[in-house]
Structure 1
Amino acid sequence: MFSRLRFLGQSPSLWVPLVLLAGAILLRQHDPQPIQQLRNLTFDTYQRLVPRPYDPTLPVRIGDIDEKSLEKFGQWPWPRGLMARIVDRLRELGAAAVALDVIYAEPDRTGPAGLAAMLPEDAAFDSVRSAIQAVPDPDQALAAAIARIPTVTAFATQATDPERPQELPLQKAGFAFAGDNPADLLPSWPYWITTMMPLQQAAAGIASVNAEPDFDGIIRRVPAFVRLPEPGNPTPFRPTLAIEALRVAQGAGTYQVKSSGASGEQQWFESRGIAMVKIGQAIMPTSANGGILLYDSGHQTERFFSLADLWNPDFDAAQVAGRIIFIGASVAGLRDYKPTPNAEIMTGIEIHAQIAEQIASGTYLTRPYWATQLEQLALLGFGLILVALAQKRAALFGLAVALIGIGGAFGGSFYLFRSQGFLLDPLYPAGIAFVIFVAATLLGYIRSEREKAFVRGAFSRYLSPALVDQLAAHPERLKLGGELRELTIMFCDIRGFTRLSEGLDPQALTHVINAFLTPMTEVIQRRQGTIDKYIGDCIMALWNAPLEVAPHGRMAVLAAFDMRAALIRINRDFATEAAASGAAPIEIRIGIGINTGLACVGNMGSEQRFDYSVLGDTVNIASRLEALSPVYAVDLVIGQETAATVPEFARIELDQVRVKGKAQPVRIYTVLGDETVAGSAAYQALLPAHQELLAAYRGKDWPAAEQALAEARRLAPDSLAGFYDLYAARIAEYRADPPPADWDGVHVARSKTG
C-alpha cells in the first residue's frame, strides 16, 4: 500500500486529472440544478443569436384583446354576446379554428338569469323579471357561436385547491398509444378551473392553458398533455392549447402517442419515455415527459391583430382566412406575461401561438436521446487526451489542445443547433477541460513543493475513519416523492382504552396518554424507528425509512422488548401517583403487532400540508396482527416475515390465520425474549411440546393435542396461560363438533379483531 502511495505521489499528473474527470462525469450524471441552469443559458444564448425566423404565411394568428379593443368594446370582461359576435365574425372571415385563452368559469352576470337574480323579491318586479328572462341568454349565444366553428375552450390547472368544486374538463379527443402508457411521465395536477359545461359541450376541443417555467422562471417548454385525477380512465389526459387547436383545425379525432416500449423507441442506454405525438398529419417530437421545447422567435407584432378591427372595412381578411386564431389579452392588467429565452416578457397566448407555428412548420428544437451519452463520451475522451498530455508536462501544447477542444465543442454544438435543431451542451465539457488543464499545469509545482503534505492529504482522503451523518452527507437517500421498499411496521395500543377513558376526566386522561406515549416514543426512536403517527392511544412506527436500518425486523422486535420493560415502569409510576392521591391505581396493558414487507413510503398529502407516511398491505397486516393480540392473550404478535429476521430469538408460533381482507393465511408468532431466553433450558423444553401441540391440533388428533397442551402448560411461563386456554377451548369445541374434512388448521378471523 505504501508503495502505491509513493507511486501516486510521484504521478499526480495521472491520478489527479483522472479523479477530477471521474468526479465530473459522476456530477454530470447526477445533473444538479446549477449544471442544468448553465446548459439552459447556453441554449438560450443560441436562440438569441439565431431566433426562429417568423413566417407570416403560417396559419396562426392572435386576435388581441388590446387597448384599442377595450376602447371600442368597453372594459373587461366583455359580455358573452359580444364574444359570440367575435367568434361568428371569425367564422365569416374563414377562420379554420378558434382557440380561446379565456376561461368562462361562471355564467354571464349580465345574462337574464343574473339580472333577474339582482331584482328584489317583490311582486312589483315580476313583470320586469319576466321581461328580463325573455331576453336571449348571452351564454347560449356564445355556445351557439362556438358550435358553428371548430373552437377550443380553456381550463387552467392548479396546484392549490381553488375551493370551487368543478367537473372535470371534458375529454374531446381519443388517445392511441404505441408503447408504454405515459401516464406516470406527464405532469399531474390535482386541481383546475375550467370553462362552464355548456360552452365545453359546444366546443370541438378542451385544452389546458398552463405553461410552467423552469426553476429560474423562464418558459422553455410547454407540455403536450397534462394528467388529471380521473380514476377509471386509462387515459386521464387533456391536451394543451396549441396542439388541441391544431387537432380541431384538422378535424382529427385522436392523438397518437409513441413512447418507450414501441418498436425502435428503446434506445441506447436509456428508456426515452414519450418520443413523439401525431396530431392529424403533424408529427411532433417531445421530451421524455411529453414537453415541447419552445424555439422562440421573440415577440412579433405581425402575429397579432386587434379584435377591434374585425368589422373595419379595410381589415385584411387574409389575417383570418384558413388560420387558427388564438384569442388572448396583451393589455396591461389582463396580460399573462412570462419571460422566454428570447424575450424578457411575453404573453402566454403568444407562447401557445409559437408552439402551434412550430408544429405547423415542422420546426423543432430537440434534445436527442443520445445527447447525454455523447456529452459524457466527449468529456471522457477529451479529458483522457489532456491527462496523457499532462504526463508529458506539455503545458503550451496542452493549452493549445484545450483551446481547440473548447472552440470545437462550441462550434459543433452551435452548428447542430442551426442545422438540425439539436441541443447539445458544449459548456460543461469545455469547463471541465479548462479545470483539468489548470490542474495539470499546477501539478508540477504541487509535486515539488508539497509532496509530503500531498501524501498526508492522500492518507486523510482515502483512509479517514470518521463517520459522517448519513442524512446530512447523502440527502438523496431521503426520497420524499414516494418509493417502494421493504419496511417493518409496528402498531401498539392500550388494551381496554375505551373503558379506561370512561373513568377519567379529560385532564387525567391526557396525563395518562402523555405518560404512556412519551417513554414508548423514546424507546422506538432509540431503536432507530420512525414514528409515523399517533392515533389516539395507538402508536404507528416504521423501520428502514427514511434511512436504511439493518436489520430492521430485529430492531423492531428489540423495541417491543424495551416497550415491555417501559410499561412496567409506567405502571409503577401510576401506582405511586395513585397511592399519593388516594385514587384507584391505573394499570395499562398493551398489544403490539409487527409485520415486515414491501410498502410505499414517502410524503403524502397536499403542497399545503403533508406527512411522511406509509401505505400498503404490509401496514394493514401489521394493524391486524396488533388487533389479534388480545385474541391470543399475548402482548406481541409478529408476522412470519418479521419472525424470519429473528431466528435466534425465543419465538413461539401462535397460529395460522386468514386475516380479514386477505385470502392467503398468515403464520403468526409471539416472541418471549432474546437470545438469552432462547438459549434457556425452560424455552428449550417448552418448544418441542408447543410444536407437538400445533402439529396434533392441525392434524385433528385431539387426544394427542390435549396431552401436548398439558405438557406445554406445565413448561410455559405465566404469560402464555391465556394462550393455552384458547387452544384448550378450541380443542374441546372441535371434539364436540369436528371441523369439516377439508379443514386445513387455519383460523379464519371474521373481523379485524379476530
Structure 2
Amino acid sequence: MRLSRRFRLILLGAMTPLLAAFLVLSFSASLQGPSIDTLYRLREAAHGPKPAPNPSPVVVVGIDEETYRRPPFVGTPQALWGPKLGKVLAGMLDGGAAAIGLDLVHPTSVETLIPGFEREYLLTLRRGGKEGRLVLAKVQHQSNPLMPYRGYLIAAGAGNVRSVNLVEDPDGVLRRIPVTLLVTDPNGGNPRPEPGMAAEVASRALGAPVVRGEDGWTTLAGYRLPGGTSNRMLVNHATMAGAIPTYSLADLFACAEAGNAAFFEKHFKGKAVMVGTVLDVEDRKLSSNRWVTKPEGLNLPERCALPVMSDLYVDGLRRDSIPGVYIHAAAISNLMTRDGLAETGKPASVAFVLLLAGLAAAITLATRPALAALGLLVVLALWSGAAVESFQNGLVLPYLQGVVAIGLVFPLLLGFRFAVLDRDQRQIRNAFKLYLPGSLIDDMIASGQSPSLGGEERDLTILFSDIAGFTKMSEGMEPEALVLVLNRYFTVMTDIVEAHGGFVDKYIGDAVLAVFGAPYALDNHARAAVNAALAMARAMEDDPTLLATDSGRGTARIGLATGPVLIGNIGSPRRFNYTVMGDTVNLASRLEGANKYYSTPMMVSGETMAHHGDPAAFRALDIVQVVGRHEPVAVYEPLSDARRADLEDGARRAAYARALADWQAGRFDAAAAGFRALAPFDSAAATMLRKADARVGRAPEPGWTGVTALTEK
C-alpha cells in the first residue's frame, strides 16, 4: 500500500531531525570546545570585552622580560634568584596578601652548593606556610609528581604543595581547571582527592575549605562549583586588555629594596596572588579565549619604583596563546566571585539539538527552498542571540551543535524531498504541463489528487486568435517547414498569454483559444486579456519574421468576449481536457471572424469593454448580430497606447463616433458624409460607408437600431 504524501511528510519531518541530532550528538564532545571559543567571540561582538571584577580579587606577579633585562636579575642564573624572590614574597606577606600561589616548580637549589645562600628565602617560605598563605607548585604525573626542592618543601610544609596541572580538551586547548585531583598516598593507601592550585589558593583567600559532597558536587564557601560531578570547572576569562593586574617582579623587588611597604599593602592586601612566568615564548597555552586575546602591555597597574621599560611590547600584536599563570588566575577569580561557566547537562543539550533540528525540518518542509533558507537564517540568528545572552550570564548552551544540526537538516530534507517526496510532484507536473495550466497543476499537487471530471460556471474572458491569409501563406510549403513557422508563432503568442495571467486552452489548426480568469481568478480578467491582445499585435509588428514565408506573411486577427462559461475537466474518465464551453466562447470566435468584415486586427464585445473599466481604451465600431446568436452585441476596437496618445488619430476617432451615431439614429446622409471623409484613412469607416451609401436618401425602417447582421462566421 502506497503511503500518502502527507504521511510521508510527517514521517520524514520526524525522522530527519532524529538522524541529524544523532549525528551531531555523536560528535558533541568534539564540537563543544570550538563552540565555547565561538561564544567568546560572539559575546565580545555583542557586548564588548568582558571586564574583570572591580576590584580584581586576584593579581599576577610576572617573571617577565623586564625582569630578565634589569639588574640584579640580568646575567644572573635563575637558580640564584631565590633570595630576590623571597624579598618580594615577604613584601606581599607583610602587605596582607590573602594567599600566594607559586606557579613555579624548582626541583633543585644552590643551597646544597652554597649553604646559607637561600636562608632568608627559606624563612619566608616557612612563614608563608605556617600562616597558611603560601602554596608551592608541583606537576602531577601518572606515577611520581615533579616536586619542589626538598628544602623548599620542608620550609613551606608538605601540606602547602598543590598541583598546577591543567586539563587539555581533545583539540589541545585548555578550557577547564581540575578542582581536585587524585594523588597517590605515600603510605600506599588509596588515591585521595586534593584541591588543585587554583582551588587551593581561592580556598585560602576566602578562608573556607573545598568540600566534595557525597553527590559528587564540589562547594567552596557555599558556592556550588559549576562542572557537576566531572570535577572540572570551565574557566570564564575576562577578555578586557589587562583584566588581571600584572606586576613585574623586577619592579616589586626594587620596591621591596626601597622599603615601600605602603605600596605592597595598597596593591596586595586581601588579594589572591599568583606568581609565574609571563614571557613571550615560555609556558604559553591555548585557552578558550584564544580568538579574543588582546595586545599585551595595556592597562598596566601602578608602578612602584621603576618605569616600564621601552620596547617590551609590540604595538597591536595579538597572540592566540596566553601564559598559563593567567588561566590559574582567571579560575581563582571565578571561584572567589562565583563567576564560573556552567555547561548544560546532556539531557538539556539533547533537547536543544532536537528542538532546533525539528524546527529546521518544519521550516524546510513548509515552504520553498529559498524561503526556507531565509527562515533558517532567522532561526540561526535567534539561536545565536540566545546562546550569547546565556553565555553572558554564565551558562554555556550547545551552540555549534545546534548550528550543525540545522545545517544538516536543511540539505538532508532537500535531498529527501527531491529524491522521494517531490518525485510524485514532478511526475504529475511532467505528465500534465503540456495539457493543463501551471496554476491548476499546482492545485493538484497541493491537494495530492489527480484531476477528475467536473466543471463550474464562471465569468471569464475568452481570447480567440486566428491567422488571416493562412492558406496563401502555406501554399507550396513543405509540411515540416510550415510546422516550424507555426510552432514559433504559437510559442510567442502562448508566452504573451501566460505573461498576462491567462492560459492557452487549445490550438485549433492555426487558431489559438486562450482563457483569462481561470483556474485562478484575476483582479480584472478582461483588462488582462485586452492587454495580452495588444501585446500579441505589437509582437507581430516588432518581429517581421513571425509568420513570414516565401509565399507571403500571415497576420493575426483577435476576438475577445466576456461572460459566463462552463470550465473544468470535460470528457470521459479515460480522456478529458481542462477546457471552456459556452456562448461566450462562440462569441469570441465570431468576433475574430468579424474582423474580416471591418478590416480590423482585433475586436471585443461590449461586455469585455465594460469589465475592462476604461472606455477611453476603446473605440466603438458597430452593433452586430453574429451567426448563431440571436442577441446583437456592441463591438469595440482596443486602442494601443500610441493611438491613444496620437491627437490626429483621436480626432478621427471622434469623427467616426459622430458618424456612427448618425448611422444608428437613421441619419444615413450625414453618416455617409462622415464615413466618406474618414474612409481613406480608416478601413472600418470604409466598411461603414458602403452600408451608409446603400441607404442614402432612404428613411430608416420602423424600429431601426443600426444592427449589422453578419452572414459569415
TM-score by length of 1: 0.35
TM-score by length of 2: 0.37
